[in-house]
Amino acid sequence: MIELTQVTKRYRTGQVETTALDRIDLQIEAGEYVAITGPSGCGKSTLLGLLGLLDVPTSGSYRLQGEEVAARSSRELAAIRRGRISFVFQSFNLVDEMTVHDNVQLALRYGELSGKAQRQRVAEVLERLGLSHRADHHPSQLSGGQQQRVAIARAIASRPALLLADEPTGNLDSAHGQEVMRLLRELNDEGTTLVMVTHSAEHAALASRGVRLLDGRVLVDTYADQL
Amino acid sequence: MKALLLDAWRGARSRSASTFAAVSGLMVAMAACSIVALLAVALAEPDPTIADPERIVLLDMKGNPPGQPSPWFTGSPLSFGTMLKERRVPLDLISRTSANGLDIDIEGRKQSALLLIADSDVVPLLSLTSLRGDLQSTLTRRDAIAITLDLMRKLWGDISPEQAIGRRIDARGGVYTVTAVIPDPDPRTPLGRANPMVGNAWAMVGFDSPANPMSEQELAAIFAINGRVFARLRPESSVDQVAGWMREAFKANPLYAQLPADWKAGREAAYFRGITLAQLPFEGAGNEQRWRLLGTVAAASALLLLMAAFNCMNLQTATLLQRQRETALRRSLGADGPQLVRLWSLEVLISLLLAATGALLIAWWATPAVATWVGLPPEQSVADPLPLRVVLGLAIGVLVLLALTIALPASMALRQPPAPALQGRTASEGPWGRRVRQALLTVQLSGVVLLLSLAGVLTQQQRYLLSLDRGFDTHNRLWLGVMVDPEAIPSMSAFTAALDRHPAIKSWAFSNARPAGDTEGPNELHVSRSQHRQVLRVTTVSPGFFSTYGMTLLAGTPTLGTGEAHVAIDEKAARLLGFSNPQSAIGELIRGGGGFLQEGSDVRRVVAVVKSVKLESARDPALPQAFLLSDKPQWDVTVHGNDLTTLRQTLDDLWKAHGPRLLYDIQSVDDQLASVYEQEQQLTTMLTAVALLSVGVAMLGAYALIADTVRRRRTELVLRRLHGADDVAIIRQLGLEFVPPLLVAAVIGLPLATWLGGRYLAGFVDRVDMGVGLVMPLAIAGAATLFVTTLATLRHVRQALAIQPIEALQP
């Protein structure tokens, strides 16, 4: 599904050039559950941004579902991303002024679905995540765990093939963290390809594959059955 | 307190950009208000040399003949002075004054002056003083005359008042001895208005002086406004009683019985009132129009100030939201609500005081020029020193603005709990904050729509007024006017012969009025052979007048008669006098020359009919016109040529070479026409200036809203981008924020502008077509408001479009 070849990402700030990712080779098959770990500044979030087509590599090749996407414009990337890739964030990124329902529906606004179909889809995912009774609430009226469940609901509303999660349990207590991990596992079991950045070794161990980064390079790439 | 002040000063300085934006908007608005206030104070102030102006009354009258109601004149027949004295009403020092012209013969030339004829009691009544000599006794002597310093210098150069006493003045066939030299009059004196051609060259004599041209009959008239009568109210009397005393005196006068019966049958032939000198600056047609102008500009400036205050409130709200962590820290260190409010108030107060100081400086610098522009005499001090009441008014304004600016943002900031902010989590003000901001912008945009629309309506009407077809042409024509007693206009044959010969002059004419500039003139009742009675406005002109002004002759030829008076009338007059067509009027005799609405016995033969001419202002209906033909020299000479610059030089040269030695002035006839609508032009210019300032202020408001929107909705915009929103979708999202304010502004501003613009246009008989004059300005104002709003939002829209979805991954 994903094939990165010699991908490098450099940032320039004034006269200083920083290499965030250095000639990375990585293949991820459909249905995999990959945990990306590593110390702060090793390039995890940069890699996630590239995988999610939120950024483009400085050099190298990125093929998504067989299609080369490394040198596309931001408009083309948005079109490729729409409906195929979703995100779950550490800080939830919910819009305070919108209700839970509207936050979830936001993911469908720019797709092909009609308004009625969008509302139906939102109702389905909220039902699935046990949030139907909170549909008219605002994020500030929910607990952290509930907020992250709304974020997951938004992420899966468009039925993406690839779900990228950036420290999804980072702002949650252990009980809520476990619940979120269970949900992600379920989604992966249903066939969604899942790539998760995490600091937690415990949560990384739940993945089927672990990629450890150091200084922008892949240090370790192991499958659960190899551990 | 010192620490608090320093803290506030540091706070205001650290937010220099927002402080600057708030200060500059407020400063401009406060300056506009201050200038209007200074002009109002200057206009409202009576002559400061007069003691106790609240107890000195001026008698006022307005005629009410059937179908011919007149305005208040701020004057009355002089006979009321005599009548009220005889009736022993509780008034002291009753004094009559009347203004006239005086041509003084000196060293072979004529020096023109304003002649003020007055009773001697006017001296103590109006606190008049002399530099040398005794003014009061001068006004009681037949051979004595008082002169102003200005006239003294014009007559004899740089001599002292002492040297002027005893000198002789030769004028109007008599010789008068200067027995008093008086200071130049204050521009606000109620005695008379300075003529631009004579300036402060005034002379004063008593009513018994041979220099007084008024006959006994004129002095006794009860229905002719021929001067002013002043008096001091006794302590037990009030100004409201004056009308009753005047009415009783009027009806008791034997001349009242001679007034036409239909003027009196079941109605009042005239109305009366007393006005104090403190009220006088607000009365009279000219003053009323000037106050209307000032009132309109004051309302517009107040709206501008409100709009600027809204910006200040907006910026303050945004600033306090950004300072949640600092506020929380101060609270954690023990600061309570009142202490924080005190700090914030001081910060705002610093901005407001900076704005007020800047505004006063601008007002002090700009008001004299604006005052001169609106017609106040340059010698009248309007801003030096700044009147205390204007400074106090501004100080009160600052306090009101402080309360208005700080109340909402402070109450909102104090509601935020400090703990989350200390943990790095800051709260937004919620949806109501956005609604308040939108509401404030709505008021600002409504103001812009209203002011731009009105400025447009006024501009269109002004353009229409200056291009209106009045039946004569004003381009490439110059007027030369002389200051001289109309009864003693010297021969100008050498001058007119030179005009005839000069190739640069196509035609020229004499007239006793300026068609483009004199919107009022003498009216006489005329009766035709078919007994049609019609009041015609009468102007005396030379035969070349019609070709000089490009009037269209419909029938006959304007020629002089031998032994009989010839008259040209316009088409409207011909119709109203019962002639079926212009040709049928030619050769007919009409009778005129009577008094106001009274039949005369002068027989005039109609020798020409011209296309209808309008000499009246666009505010009044056109009167039917009669032009008495005469080859006698008149006050006004008009010349027509091809090139105005050459024409001006030629006219000046010819007058200097061949004209009599009289004070003269040259103006273009276009300028005379423009001067008729000078106040309208001033209102248009001032309103346009305030409208443009309001655009700037509203742009700041729109800028604040979009900046706040992009800041507040950044996460949402990032997520929209993340889920595939393109540029159009992002712009639509931001645009939606401005749709309600723009729509509501249109709903409020456009009908209000339609109503006010309609009211303004209704004041004119001749007004621009509604489509061009009202609908088009409104449409342009709406489009301009949309455009400037878009312009103000451009920077932040571009910022929003540059938002990258990867921001979602950043903490």
For chain A, say whether B736 makes contact (Cβ under 8 Å): no
- CA distance to partner chain A, nearest, from residue B725 (Å): 6
Angle at alpha carbon of residue B422, lines to B419 and B426, rounded to 5°: 85
39-68 in chain A: CB under 8 A from chain B: 45, 48-49, 54-55
The residue of B723, B726, B807, B810 whose CB has the most chain A CBs within 10 angstroms, and thus the best one to mutate to test that interface, is: B723
∠ CA B90-B92-B93, rounded to 5°:
150
Instruction: Please report the pLDDT score of residue A225 as a whole number.
Output: 65
pLDDT of residue B3: 64
In a domain, residue A20? The reply is: no
Q: Is B726 close to A75, i.e. CB distance below 8 A?
A: yes
Our count of domains for chain A comes to: 1
Report, as an integer, the average pLDDT of B687-704.
88
Band of residue A59 on the pLDDT scale cut at 50, 70, 90 = very high
The confidence band for B247, taking pLDDT boundaries of 50, 70 and 90, is: very high
Mean pLDDT calculated for residue range B71-82: 92
- For residue B725, the SS3 value is coil
Q: B373-383: string of b/e by CB count within 10 Å (b at 16+)?
A: ebebeeeeebb
Burial class (CB in 10 A: 0-12, 13-18, 19+), B108: exposed
Facing A55 at nearest CB: one of B430, B729, B806: B806
Average pLDDT, chain B: 89
pLDDT at B18 (0 to 100): 64
Q: Which of these ranges, A40-54, B170-184, B326-340, has the smallest mean pLDDT?
A: B326-340
Predicted local distance difference test score (pLDDT) of residue B419: 64
Q: Is B533 helix (H, G, I), strand (E, B) or coil?
A: strand
Model pLDDT for residues B627-643, shown as the tens digit of each residue: 999 988 888 999 999 99
Query: What would the two tokens of residue B289 be?
Result: 């129009």
| pLDDT band at residue B344 under the 50/70/90 scheme | confident
The tens digit of pLDDT for each residue in B734-782 reads 888 889 999 999 999 999 999 999 999 998 999 999 889 999 999 999 9
Give per-residue pLDDT as tens, B363-403: 999 999 998 888 887 777 888 888 888 999 999 999 998 99
Q: pLDDT above 70 covers what percent of chain B? A: 95
CA distance B484 to B5: 68
Is residue A15 assigned to a domain? Answer: no
Query: What is the rounded CA–CA span in Å between residue A26 and residue A20?
Result: 15
Verify whether the Cβ–Cβ distance A97 to B716 is below 8 Å. yes
- Closest among B275, B274, B269, B229 to B250, alpha carbons compared: B269
Q: Among B428, B716, B809, whose Cβ lies nearest the Cβ of A54?
A: B809
The CATH number of residue A119's host domain is 3.40.50.300
Chain A residues near residue B731 by CB distance under 8 angstroms: none
Q: How confident is the model at residue B11 (pLDDT cuts 50, 70, 90)?
A: low
Query: How far is residue A51's CA from residue B548's CA, in Å, rounded to a whole number?
Result: 88
pLDDT at B332 > cutoff 80: no
Would you state the pLDDT for residue B426?
58
Is residue B4 very low, low, confident or very high in pLDDT (cuts 50, 70, 90)? low
Question: What residue in B sits closest to A154 (Cα-Cα)?
Answer: B723
Q: Tell me whether strands A33-37 and A193-197 are parallel, antiparallel or unpaired.
A: parallel
More confident of the two residues B437 and B142: B142
3-state secondary structure B406-423: HHHHHHHHHHCCHHHHHC
Nearest CA in chain B to A160: B723
Interface probe, candidates A76, A105, A110, chain B, greatest B C-beta count within 10 A: A110
Give the pLDDT score at B287.
Answer: 81
Residue B57 confidence (pLDDT) above 70 = yes
> How big is the A-B interface in CB pairs under 8 Å?
69
Two tokens, residue B375: 């017609």
Burial class (CB in 10 A: 0-12, 13-18, 19+), B488: exposed
pLDDT of residue B356 exceeding 60, the answer is yes
- Residue A107's domain comprises 31-56+74-226
Query: What is the pLDDT averaged over residues B437-446?
Result: 88
**d(Cα B362, Cα B26) in Å, to the nearest integer?**
12
CA distances for B162 relative to A66, B146, B179, B182, B185, angstroms? 113, 13, 10, 11, 19
Would you call A54 and B806 a contact, using CB atoms and an 8 Å cutoff? yes
Residues in chain A: 227
Give pLDDT, residue B684: 93
User: Is A7 domain-assigned?
Assistant: no
Q: Do B723 and A82 make contact, defined as CB atoms within 8 angstroms? A: yes
Alpha carbon of B430: minimum distance to chain A alpha carbons (Å):
7
Which residues in chain B have their CB less than 8 angstroms from residue A54's CB? 722, 804-806, 808-809
Residue of A nearest to B432 (CA): A97
Query: What pLDDT, in 10s, does the model give residues A181-216?
Result: 888 898 899 889 999 999 888 888 889 999 999 999
pLDDT at B431 over 70: no
- CA distances in angstroms from B2 to A102, B128, B342, listed in the order given: 51, 54, 13
Q: What local confidence, expressed as pLDDT, does residue A94 receive?
A: 85
Spatial separation of the C-alpha atoms in residues B716 and B725, rounded to whole Å: 11
B329 or B658: which leads in pLDDT: B658
**Looking at residues B48-53, what average pLDDT do you find?**
91
Report CB contact under 8 Å: B723, A95. Answer: no
Which of B33-47, B673-687, B702-716, B773-787 has the least mean pLDDT?
Answer: B702-716
Q: Is the residue at A155 inside a domain?
A: yes
* Interval B133-145 mean pLDDT: 95
Residue-level pLDDT at B289: 81
pLDDT digits (tens, 9 = 90+) for B489-541: 788 889 999 999 999 999 999 999 999 999 888 888 899 999 998 889 999 99
pLDDT, residue B423, reads 57
**Smallest Cα distance from A225 to chain B, Å:** 31
Tell me: pLDDT of B96 over 80: yes
What's the whole-number mean pLDDT along residues B252-281? 91
Cβ neighbors of B517 (< 8 A, separation 6 or more) are: B479, B669, B672, B673, B675, B676
Q: What is the mean pLDDT of residues B302-321?
A: 84
The per-residue pLDDT for range B578-591, each reduced to its tens digit, is: 999 999 999 999 99
Q: Per-residue pLDDT averaged across A75-89, rounded?
A: 84
| Of the partner residues A93, A106, A110, the one whose CB lies closest to the CB of residue B808 | A93
Q: Residue B625 has what pLDDT? A: 95
Contact between chains at B809 and A95 (C-beta distance less than 8 A): no
Contact B431 A97 (CB under 8 A): yes
Termini Cα distance of chain A: 23
Residue B30 has pLDDT above 70, yes or no: yes
The answer to whether B424 touches B324, Cβ cutoff 8 Å, is no
Chain A positions in Cβ-Cβ contact with residue B718 (cut-off 8 Å)? 93
- A11 within a domain of the structure (yes/no): no
In this predicted structure, what is the pLDDT of residue B661? 81
**Does B719 sit within 8 Å of A96, measured CB to CB?**
no
What is the average per-residue pLDDT within B339-361?
Answer: 89
A interface test, pick of B437, B719, B803, B807 with most A CB neighbours within 10 Å: B719
Pair B285, B76: CB distance under 8 Å:
no
Record: contact B724-A82, CB cut-off 8 A: yes
* Residue B597: pLDDT band with limits 50, 70, 90: low
Q: How many CB atoms lie within 10 A of CB A33?
A: 22
- Eight-class DSSP state of B567: E
Averaging pLDDT over each range in A193-202, B349-358, B457-466, which range is the top one? B457-466
Kindly list the residues from chain A whose CB atom is less than 8 angstroms away from the CB atom of residue B425.
Answer: none
The pLDDT of residue B144: 96
The answer to whether residue A227 scores a pLDDT higher than 60 is no
Answer yes or no: is A203 within a domain.
yes
> Where is pLDDT greater, at B774 or B415?
B774
What CA–CA distance (Å, rounded) separates B573 from B575? 5
Asked if the Cβ–Cβ distance from B808 to A107 is below 8 Å, we say no
What mean pLDDT comes out for the span A137-142? 88
* Pairing relationship of beta strands B132-133 and B109-118 according to DSSP bridges: unpaired
pLDDT, residue B595, reads 65
A82 Cα distance to chain centroid: 13
Note whether A78 contacts B724, CB cutoff 8 Å.
yes
pLDDT tens-digit map of A87-122: 888 888 888 878 999 999 988 888 888 989 999 999
pLDDT band with cut points at 50, 70 and 90 for residue B1: low
Residues of chain A positioned with their CB less than 8 A from the CB of B719 = 93, 95, 106
Distance from the Cα of B746 to chain A's closest Cα (Å) equals 28
Q: Which of A222, A198, A196, A218 is nearest to A22 (CA)?
A: A218
Put simply, the answer to whether A75 touches B713 (Cβ < 8 Å) is no
Q: Please give, one letter per residue, the 3-state secondary structure of B606-624.
A: EEEEECCCCCCCCCCCCCC
Angle formed by the axes of helices B337-373 and B16-44, nearest 10°: 50
pLDDT at B314: 79
Within-domain flag for A26: no
Task: Answer whether B134's CB lies under 8 Å from B154's CB.
Answer: no
Query: What is this model's ipTM?
Result: 0.79
pLDDT at B33 over 70: yes
Residue A91 in domain:
yes
**Chain-wide mean pLDDT for chain A?**
88
Residue whose token pair is 């060293």: B107
Domain edges within chain B: 2-39+288-464+679-809, 53-277, 484-662
Residues 15-44 of B with CB under 8 A from A: none
* Nearest residue of A to residue B434, measured between CA atoms: A97
The angle, 0 to 180 degrees and rounded to 10, between the axes of the packed helices B678-712 and B714-722 is 60
How big is chain A by its Cα radius of gyration, in Å?
Answer: 18
